[in-house]
Amino acid sequence: MNILNNWQMLDLVTSKGEALVCIEGRVYGSNPRFPISSHIRTSPVTGYSLNSNSMVVMTKRGSEYLLGKPDPSQPFAQQHLMRRFSRLHQTSAPSFDALESQLTGFNERIENPTGPSRVHELA
């Protein structure tokens, strides 16, 4: 599973006015699309799972990312993300079309935290 470190939540709105959430950060893992420690932005997040203090997000494209350490400027990032998921769930599940994960940078550093999960869907 891919791990995102130094991550932050992005609250975005499409040209059609649909609200969505993406995650941006440094990816570590075995995905051949991304060199290790690439800076990426995920496709829209559609759900999440929790186990203890570990959070895994699922994206529209079917990818899963274990959220590691958040960006140091956002000490309560996981709590903010969970609140945002709650608000998205209350409004609606928009159709996210043509958004894909994007490679936005590269760094040679390697990290590898792991953890099990329990799934929650946003619908």
Where do the structural domains in the chain lie, given as residue ranges?
2-91+99-107
84 secondary structure, DSSP code: H
Record the pTM: 0.67
pLDDT by residue, tens only, the chain of 123 residues: 889 999 999 988 889 888 899 999 999 987 777 777 789 999 999 988 987 778 999 999 999 999 999 999 988 998 888 888 887 665 444 444 444 555 555 554 444 444 444 444 444
Q: Which residues contact 106 (CB under 8 A, 6 or more apart)?
A: 35, 37, 38, 39
With beta carbons less than 8 A apart as the criterion, state whether 29 and 22 touch: no
